[in-house]
Structure 1
Amino acid sequence: MKQFDFFAGRQLSRRQLLSGTAALGSVLAAGALAGCGGNASAAAPRGIQFWHLLSGGDGIKMQALISKANEGNPGFKVHPTVLAWGPPYYTKLAMASAGGRPPQLAIMHASRVPGYAPGGLIDPWDLDLLSANGVTADNFAPRIWDKSQQNGKVFSIALDSHPFIMFYNTDVAGKAGVLAGNGQLQEVKSPQEFMAMAKEMQKVTQAHGLSFGYLGSGSQMWRLFYTLYKQHGADMELTPGQPMKVDRDAAIESLEFMASLFDDTIAAKSGDISTGIAEFARGGSGMLFSGVWELPTMKKAGLPVDAATIPTLYGTAAAYADSHSFVLPRQLNLDEEKRRDVYKFVSDILKGSLSWAEAGHIPAYQPVVQSQAYKDLKPQAHYANAADVIAYDPQSWFSGSGSDWQTYFAENVQNVLLGRDKAADGWAAFEKRTNTLLSRPNPV
């Protein structure tokens, strides 16, 4: 069989055609390989998989930070995966790490790290490599840096602290006569003084002095309880194989005070988080106990809002808080280049976290907090001191943000807040449940 050679104007045999085609293929392949080994390789960024649990306004802010870091680092590209907040996220992260298919970087709450570090699911950070990227221990508030460590190694790098605070309506507070000379809420130093202030605000709103929704939310109940408990100067220890170490009197007094707030004058007798936030946002109360992450909602509502740490009612300044923290999931086959890229990416996010502060969070990277630009943010600058008094959850494999332990707290305490059970009985039931957990090994 003959083939016509259009270029030479003559016929070729089948063998000549195949030989020529093979030679041409070799030339093309060589050229392609040269391209891949040269400019094409240099132009292809290394892909970094990054898992986090930030949604809503936080998710939008984080995506903007990721995009900015990607633009400034052509050698890599971070690909985020957003998963549902709470137990599903932590379960998937543990399974991915155990199965050898984890992302190169992930966000965890600092309070959840103790459940993962001992099991080898995350790697410690190399402090020398962090320093080479301009991040050192003295860039963080002492309590935040201490929380990043397990057994002398740093297993998490905090992006922020997000404490439980008090928002207040300055118009309502002004009419109630409870503003100090600097235009901020006057200082109160006892439960009785706080309740008196709330009642003055209620006279203005004709609804409630304080908004605090809690129904069905163990995390919401725990945040206020643990703030008040730590204000007693009390500690809580969760040691595996041992009964819970706790100041029962402080725990019961904290619960009794919480229950006393829900009298339908100071605060609504019952209501969930959304109800409480909506009431404050429409001016139905003078104060709101909630997390800093609600600040964008309040500003969007057009409220004359300011904020501060929750007043010190029992002698010791304290505010429940957690931190969104970067962790390094253990890699089955570590890519050193990608690991170095991760350090650069994290350092860029920390240094650019002023925009994260706009979402209400307190940046963990102190050069940002100490900048004039941050000091100009209001009301963020008014509660920045919370970073010095934050109280993380007592350390255990089962404690922390979004944990089942907080759900168990709700199961035993909600009826106390509703006035159906005594505080001592609710606490005893929760303590018993906690001791059962302490008798079990860490499943991770």
Structure 2
Amino acid sequence: MSRRGFLQAALVGAGAVAIGGALAGCATGADGSGRTTVRIWDLFSGADGANMQTMQAAAMKANPDVSIQSVTLAWGSAYYTKLAMASSGGRPPEAAVMHMSRLAGYAPGGLLEPYDLDKLAEVGIRKENFAPAVWERATYQGELYALPLDTHPFISFYNPKIAKQAGLLGSDGKLVSLDGVDTFLDAGREMAKVTGKTGMAFGYLLDTAQAWRLFWGLYGQTGAGYELVPGKAAQLDEKAATEVIELMQSILDGKVVPANQDYAGAIASFTTGRSGLILSGEWELPAFKAAIPDVGGMPLPTLLGTPANYADSHSFVLPKQAHPDPARRDATYRVLANLLSQGSLTWASAGHIPAYQPVLSKPEYQKLTPQRDYAHAGEIVVLDPAVWFAGAGSDFQARMCDAMSASLQGKAKAKSAVDGMLREMDRLLKTPNPA
């Protein structure tokens, strides 16, 4: 992290500190109330940041003996660098938000502490409360290192008005199933007839993750495996990977989806009615609802046989502390349990799927549309490979997108993209984990 980046992060954090008036390094509140301070780092801005502040205020109300000190830092690799530095120095916050896809770079290096499952059970949090795939990725060597707050998948949003004109709405007012390659492509062409432009939107140019998200979700649908072991050559089912790239090329034909569309262009195309469906992350829901109040949503259609949806998960971790305070640790467990069990409905309002599954059956959640319609995506998630260099905001995702770029633009064959991805994987597998 550069000095300028550090100062910017510190200033952002300073603006979000002191929900409960606590001071870092003090066991009690600054007002002398005797409240136990729990410091939490996160990377949330906008609607997510406001929702997290609301959730933390409610958690303090439910635990009046606790004062939460919330610090928000800029999202990206700098956040994870700062977290690693704080953990290695032994003076990190009591808890921090981490993308689940980054866990493999931290748990093995001793930068995090595992959760005590008995203590979690005492505050009402148990393994059966979470989808198996999410819980499994939260563990390392049999111990739980991350407490999942949500899953945020890469899904499909659609404009009901355009879908209806294209004859693609069912009797329930929802988009009909688009499973199967031919069905999906035909739906795009029918929507294009309505819009007079293209049927669907997908922005990947100049973006460091979008092409990878679509590729990895579709690769998961093939049922093919992979093996990424540091120090060894990458193992990927090249036939299946090539099939996925060829499918993406078919989608980006200029009629179903524009061949050369960037992220902002795709958002604009969908929100202004120039396309009827967009492949995007559920985190864009607030913007979509503002433009299309009755916007619909569904998991990524199953195009290649096996239901699978690329996703990541915001989770809470316990950074390694040189001298952990028992009172703070107890308070941290209570606060995090409240954020999951009581705060998840607030968190879901911005589009995220609560990882704490009991929330999904609540009447309040079932009233949230289109969230309830794509909630199933949280049960078929495919996260980034569990290696130290992968995950949200990583250079790995950017390199994968770069390797695919020429092929997706029709300038190279699909096999060229696969070869490029394998070369980059091999290069990273030879690189030691700096953490």
- The TM-score normalised by the length of structure 2 is 0.91
Superposed displacement of residue 41, structure 1: 8.9
Matches within 5 A, 1:191-340: 191-340=181-330
Does the 8 Å contact 1:259/1:417 carry over to 2?
Answer: yes
- Residue in structure 2 matched with residue 30 of structure 1 by the alignment: none
What secondary structure sits across from 2:316 in the alignment?
Answer: strand
Establish whether residue 428 from structure 1 lines up as the match of residue 419 from structure 2.
yes
Q: Deviation digits for residues 100-146 of structure 1, max 9, x if unmatched?
A: 22111100011111110011000000011111111111111111111
1:43 match: secondary structure: coil
In structure 2, C-alpha distance between the alignment counterparts of 1:411 and 1:380, rounded to whole Å: 32
How many angstroms apart in 1 are the aligned matches of 2:382 and 2:430? Answer: 25
Deviation at 1:382, TM superposition (A): 0.6
Q: Pick closer, same or farther for the CA change 1:77–1:257 going to 2, 3 Å.
A: same
Given that 1:237 and 1:395 are in contact with CA atoms closer than 8 Å, whether structure 2 keeps it comes out as no
- Name which of 36, 47, 65 aligns with 1:75: 65
Q: Secondary structure at the match of 1:276?
A: helix
Contact 1:212–1:290 (CA under 8 A) maintained in structure 2: yes
Q: Distance in 1 between matches of 2:357 and 2:183?
A: 34
Task: Work out whether residues 282 and 352 of structure 2, in 8 Å CA contact, stay in contact via their aligned partners in 1.
Answer: yes
* 2:380 equivalent in structure 1: 389
Please say if residues 169 and 303 of structure 1, whose CA atoms lie closer than 8 Å, have aligned partners that are also in contact: no
Task: Give the match for residue 377 of structure 1.
Answer: 368
Contact persistence 2:218–2:304 (CA under 8 A): yes
Query: Residue 320 of structure 1 contacts residue 392 of structure 1 at CA under 8 Å; is this kept in 2?
Result: yes
In structure 2, C-alpha distance between the alignment counterparts of 1:79 and 1:323, rounded to whole Å: 23
Residue type at the aligned position of 1:257: L
Contact 2:159–2:292 (CA under 8 A) maintained in structure 1: no
Match of 2:178 among 180, 188, 205: 188
Is residue 176–residue 204 contact of structure 1 (8 Å, CA) maintained in 2? yes
What secondary structure, in the 3-state scheme, does the structure 2 residue paired with 1:117 have? coil
Q: Which sits farther off after the overlay, 153-162 or 81-90?
A: 81-90
Is contact 1:178-1:185 (8 Å) kept?
yes
Return the alpha-carbon distance in structure 2 between the equivalents of residues 192 and 401 of structure 1: 32
Looking at structure 1, the residues matched to 426 and 231 of structure 2 have their Cα atoms a distance apart, in angstroms, of: 8
- Match of 1:396, SS? coil
| 1:344 Cα offset (Å) | 0.4
Amino acid at match of 2:368: L
- Which residue is equivalent to 1:44? 34
CA RMSD of aligned residues (A): 1.6
Report how far residue 364 of structure 1 moved: 0.7
Task: Tell me if structure 2 keeps the 8 A contact 1:143–1:388.
Answer: yes
Mean Cα displacement is larger for which, 336-345 or 367-376? 367-376
The superposition leaves residues 39-83 of structure 1 with CA deviations (integer Å, 9 ceiling, x where unpaired) of 999723222211111111111111111111122222221111111
| Distance in 2, Cα, partners of 1:42 & 1:99 | 28
Report the counterpart of residue 357 of structure 1 in structure 2: 348
For residue 348 of structure 1, report the CA deviation from its aligned partner.
0.5
Q: Which one of 67, 73, 91 corresponds to residue 101 of structure 1?
A: 91
Gaps of 5+ in 2: 1-27
**Is the 8 Å Cα contact of residues 29 and 35 (structure 2) preserved in structure 1?**
no
1:160 aligns with 2:150: yes
Structure 1 residue corresponding to 2:121, chosen from 125, 128, 131:
131
SS at match of 2:209: helix
**Residue identity matched to 2:218:** L
1:27 maps to which residue? none
Q: Deviations over 1:358-391 (max 9, x none)?
A: 1101101111112121112111111111121111
Structure 1 residue 141 corresponds to structure 2 residue 149: no
| Matched position secondary structure for 1:383 | helix
AA matched with 2:191: M
What does residue 12 of structure 1 align with?
none
Identity %: 44
CA displacement at 1:218 relative to structure 2: 2.6
Mapped partners of 1:247, 1:174: distance in 2: 39
The answer to whether the aligner puts 1:54 opposite 2:47 as a matched pair is no
Q: 1:207 deviation in Å?
A: 1.2
Distance 1:218 1:69, change over 3 A: same
Query: How many residues are matched?
Result: 407
Q: Secondary structure at the match of 1:326?
A: strand
The structural deviation recorded for 1:263 is: 2.6
Question: Does the residue aligned with 2:151 lie in a helix, a strand or coil?
Answer: strand
- One-letter code aligned to 1:296: P
Q: Point out the more displaced range, 102-111 or 241-250.
A: 241-250
Distance 1:41 1:204, change over 3 A: closer
Match of 1:401 among 392, 400, 405: 392
- 1:116 equivalent among 91, 106, 112: 106
Residues in 1 aligned to 2:319 and 2:415: alpha-carbon distance in whole angstroms: 42
- How far apart, CA to CA, are the structure 1 residues paired with 2:57 and 2:51? 10
The AA in structure 2 aligned to 1:425 is S
Structure 2 CA distance for aligned equivalents of residues 238 and 85 of structure 1 = 26
| Unaligned residue ranges in structure 1 (runs of 5+) | 1-37
